[in-house]
Chains A and B, each alone.
Chain A
Amino acid sequence: MKYTLSALLLLFLVSLKIALIAGPPADFRHDRHEFEPRLSGEILPPLPRTEGSPYFIEDWLSGDVRLTNGQWVTAQQLRYNGFLDELIWMHPRQFVPVRVDKNLVDRFVLYQENPADTFHFVNIRINLWYESRMLNVFAQELYTGKSQLVVHRNIRQMGERVVQDGGQLFTRPRIEPDPGYYLIGPDGRAQPIRGINRRALLSVFSERRSEIRQALRQHHIRLRSEEDLARAIAVIDQLNP
């Protein structure tokens, strides 16, 4: 009887301990989101319909945004509109798309289910050939080392297409991706790489052509894709300047 009582007491105390351990965490640190800043932007008016998607990824993706003051806004529904070159945010309460104030955004990250497919975009200043002044654009990071390879996921109007909708004829802009690659040196200056080919790449490093050609040959890099270009920049980064 005595042992039964002791066993019951032990069982009760062990249960009590487990219950206490499993209780809510007794921490006085603030909730992760409590002091997070907020995104600002314009409620996007309806956009004209286009032939082709203006978005880099059509679906809304979960993402984080780092503001220019260094603070992060996390777990937002985001997508990048390459036609407007704007970060679009789905307002979590009103469920309307919001064009995030670009000048307040330093960078943003779009997450996909596969962590390897995470897209990092940075707000950089570049000189577009069709613009007379420097512009702030969002560009996706492909490689970051001593230098940085980014791609501006630009979507450009390539023409117009007349479509019939509800018995009426409409003209819709025909848009297509027109990516622009930029190499950002340690000094922060962005140099365009006009295409994914060896000649375009070597033209950026005009004084080190033979050295780089030899290095690419040594590493068996043939420039056919963005991945090849990123590998090539990584190899060049390893060479002494």
Chain B
Amino acid sequence: MLFTCTLFFRPQPIKAFAVVRPAAILLLLLLLKPFSGLSADEPEKVHLHTDRDIYIAGEYLYFSARTFNGHEPGESSSAFLYVALRNSQGVIIRATLPIKSGRSQGALYLHDTLPSGYYQLTAHTQHMRNWSQAYMFNKQIFIANRFDNELQEVQPPVSDPAQLRLSFYPESGTMVRGLPASLLIRAEGNFDAADRKLWLLNAHGDTLSLGQLNERGFGSMSFIPDTLAPYSLFVDGGDQAFSLPDASESGITMHLTPAENNGLHLRLMADSSSLRLRGRLRIYSPEGIYQEVQVNQQTLEYQLSYPAKDLPQGLLIFAFDSPLTEKTLIRPWYQGGEKNTALQLRSSPEYARRQKARISLQLDTAHDADLSVSISPAYAHFSDSYNAAAHKRALYLSRFLPLDPAESLPLLRSLNPSQINELLVALVSDVPHEQVPKPLSRSYLKETQGLIVSGELIDILSRTPLSDRRIVLNTPDTLINLQYALTDTSGIFRFLLSDYYHDRELFFRLDPSSMNDSDEGINPLLLIDDKFSLPEGFQAQTLRELWIRRESLARSQEIERIRKSYELEYHSFRPVALKNTEAPPRLYSRASQVFRLDNFIPLDDLPEISREIIGSWRIRRGAENHVLSCASTRTALPGEPGLFINGVWVSNLLDVMDMGSDKLHRIDVHNLRWVHGSMEFSGVIGIFTRDPHFNRFAWNGASASLRHIPPRDAGFYSDRPAGLDDSMASLMPDLRQTLYWNPKLLLKAGRENYIDFNTSDLPGEYIIVIEGNDVMGHPIRHEALFKVN
């Protein structure tokens, strides 16, 4: 899809203004460059390192998160991260986590009842929701239910040779007879093309070249086209011959190949009909023209070698214009060589079961590093599981290549620089235009000071937003609390929630007094935004490698069944003190009068209580209305007083009218003309029931409610079963599949650091994955294998 849509062969004829074009392009690049520096519109980014890619339901999934701004390493300013696990049906597990200094960590419990299948782990800040979903973190994982013996989701790849489609991309967009050609081949369709062999035959049936498709269905081939066209390409397992595009009789070809020590070799060749090779070679970088070379060879070939030090890091576009050919030859190249910080890891290749093990780590840099470390079964990691460095590289490329990030990011972030360069053969483009990601909306604010809950007020029928209406928020409490927000022109309202609201039910109401006279016929609907909702659903991609690992997966299921039967849990929680330190947003500090009904003789219902005890509050039964007398003027206040039941604003008394002293605990009467911001109350009545869970809060109008779940401590990985001391643990089987997980390992530069862990009772091959960056932001990634016998 990616290639059919965006990577295409595009001829570049020389036009009349070709002479001034380089200058104009350079000028444009120079002028556009500072814009990105000024823009505050950079989406934040997040990357998660998980302990594995394959899990069994009933286990914990551990992750460590890093957030950064733009495409450069650095901290984001959002204070909250939203991590979700979803399948094609929707979000299943959600977690809100605090971000401190660009780092966060957590664990998701994968419920026992999760059906086997592919799931997607997503992570984003609210700020990221303003941009395409492509910029959010997402990663496909597989979860097997431990009772699922069939594992129907793990199936061999289906191969229908009739549905195989091949696309061909000649390097620099040209194939010329008699000149070496390099061809990128991409296989698509419902056909398992991974690792298939390729044969290229000429019209006589002679084999010209052999190749192989990789696990992503890409392959490359080199050959010299001659007059024996047409050429046919055959794929192992396929049932058809694919015809290659015709080679032109004359022209020029351009080839780039990697040279030693991250250098680059360029080769330009003209066909024999040309007398000599001449033209202009330009090398563009995102900063502009990096180099321009006039080629005027007496021969038909021109070669240049660039050592790595002579090339800027990042994306380069090689463009060659020649009067000998009508089109500009284009070849993009990603010049890698990011400043990766090397890590020396020393580990024994083998350990025994239940052995104390030690790994030694040393940084090849003068800077300390912030890392996350996992040691888990090797089979439980997908081969193309991407890392933070690759993620950042993909973000960089998506910024400069004319590709849709939604399609390019998932592909590019699982590739290394040399794999990227193989694919860039297919991209024939003008110059690297920097594309600063454009926000799709501005609805989602950065949550820097606290959690923001937002929503939208619309008319049900016309779906038009209703602006400048007042939305009131309160929560059940023994105090009357209230805050409100006004809807903006998009009908959006927001509340910044202090920790007072943690773990409380929030009630949102449209204040009817904020509706206009012209609102007749409008049927308002109040929608609360789901912070975990993503516009695009998850479509699982069947992974071929899972079929190969099905035996390991079945073994993991069995281990998990045994672990559960022993009730061993390798996850612990810290004791957390409840923290609700912030004061509620109160409507008033002290009511004019407070009536505690225990201090009076019991009465049967509310009208009787108001008449006999309160006096200043009169309820007219039947009409079901009520008025208050003003405390200061002794005259009736205009209109009905604001009515609150257990701190929540309600429309009427119906739900409490029949409650007597046995059900009601306290009544606050605040009989003053009271304002709160732009809201006015003809006095306030607060009714508090004896039942703290009373929740009939009737409202005649648009309303919504939600339970506000604050960030929680997700617990931590433990190599000892929870609740068991060392002596007890030694008597139990050790059934840990993840042997070690440390979401935040601070590594000191210039000295040896150690990781100590214990192997479990489970033999097999394990992989150590270390990921992170040094304090300068240079990425670190290291993997090492060992065996437990």
Contact = CB atoms under 8 A, between A and B. Distances in A.
B588 interface: yes
B20 A21 contact: no
A10 B35 contact: no
A41 interface: yes
Nearest to B495: A35
A21 B485 CA distance: 31
Nearest to B77: A29
A163 interface: no
A207 interface: no
Interface stretch (B5-13, B38-46, B80-88, B267-275): B38-46
Contact of B589 (A6, A27, A37, A101): A101
A2 B21 CA distance: 12
Nearest to B41: A26
Contacts of A13: 27-28, 31
Interface string A141-171: 0000000000000000000000000000000
Contacts of B495: 35
Nearest to A20: B35
Contacts of B582: 69-70
B40 A104 contact: no
Contact of A103 (B449, B590, B679): B590
Chain B CB within 10 Å, residue with most, of A27, A68, A70? A27
Given A21-B35, A69-B585, 16 more contacts: A6-B23, A13-B28, A14-B31, A26-B41, A26-B439, A28-B130, A29-B445, A34-B485, A35-B494, A38-B677, A39-B676, A40-B674, A40-B675, A43-B680, A45-B632, A70-B582
A135 interface: no
Interface residues of B, number: 49
Given A40-B587, A101-B588, A30 B494 contact: yes
A34 to B, nearest CB: 7
B24 interface: yes
Interface in A8-64: 9-10, 13-14, 16-17, 20-21, 25-30, 34-35, 37-43, 45
B40 A40 contact: no
Contacts of B40: 25-28
Contacts of A172: none
A91 interface: yes
B446 A17 contact: no
B293 interface: no
B438 to A, nearest CB: 10
A39 B27 contact: no
Contacts of B589: 101-104
A116 interface: no
A37 B585 contact: yes
B440 interface: no
Contacts of B31: 13-14, 16-17
Which 9 pairs between the two chains have the least Cβ-Cβ distance?
Answer: A38-B677, A103-B589, A69-B583, A35-B496, A43-B673, A26-B41, A42-B672, A40-B676, A27-B40
B35 A17 contact: yes
21 contacts: A10-B27, A13-B31, A26-B39, A28-B40, A28-B127, A28-B442, A28-B445, A30-B496, A35-B494, A38-B677, A38-B678, A39-B675, A40-B586, A41-B674, A42-B673, A43-B675, A69-B583, A70-B582, A94-B675, A103-B589, A104-B588
Nearest to B631: A42
B448 interface: yes
Interface of B: 20, 23-24, 27-28, 31, 34-35, 38-41, 127, 130, 439, 442, 444-446, 448-449, 452, 483-485, 494-496, 498, 582-590, 632-633, 672-680
Given A6-B20, A28-B445, A101-B589, A93 B674 contact: no
A5 interface: yes
A55 B583 CA distance: 31
Nearest to A34: B494
Contacts of B588: 40, 101, 104
Contacts of A14: 31
Given A25-B40, A101-B589, A45 B633 contact: yes
B494 to A, nearest CB: 7
B38 A37 contact: no
B633 to A, nearest CB: 6
A232 interface: no
B448 A93 contact: no
A9 B24 contact: yes
Nearest to A104: B589
A98 B485 CA distance: 21
Contacts of A37: 483, 585
Contacts of B38: 21
Nearest to A96: B675
B20 A38 contact: no
Nearest to B592: A42
Contacts of A6: 20, 23-24
A68 B24 CA distance: 61
Contacts of B496: 30, 35
A27 to B, nearest CB: 5
A5 B20 contact: yes
A28 B444 contact: yes
A44 B521 CA distance: 37
Chain A CB within 10 Å, residue with most, of B452, B582, B680? B680
Contacts of A42: 632, 672-675
Nearest to B127: A28
A241 to B, nearest CB: 33
A90 to B, nearest CB: 11
A37 B679 CA distance: 13
Contacts of B449: 35
A6 B585 CA distance: 62
Contacts of B41: 26
A25 B41 CA distance: 9
Interface in A56-103: 68-70, 91-94, 98, 101-103
Nearest to B43: A28
Contacts of B485: 34
Nearest to A5: B20
Contacts of A38: 483-484, 676-679
A232 B98 CA distance: 49
A5 B590 CA distance: 75
Contacts of A41: 674-675
B446 A28 contact: yes
A196 to B, nearest CB: 34
A10 B27 CA distance: 8
B27 A9 contact: yes
B497 to A, nearest CB: 10
Given A28-B40, A101-B589, A94 B448 contact: no
A30 B492 CA distance: 13
A10 B30 CA distance: 11
Contacts of A2: 20
Nearest to A30: B445
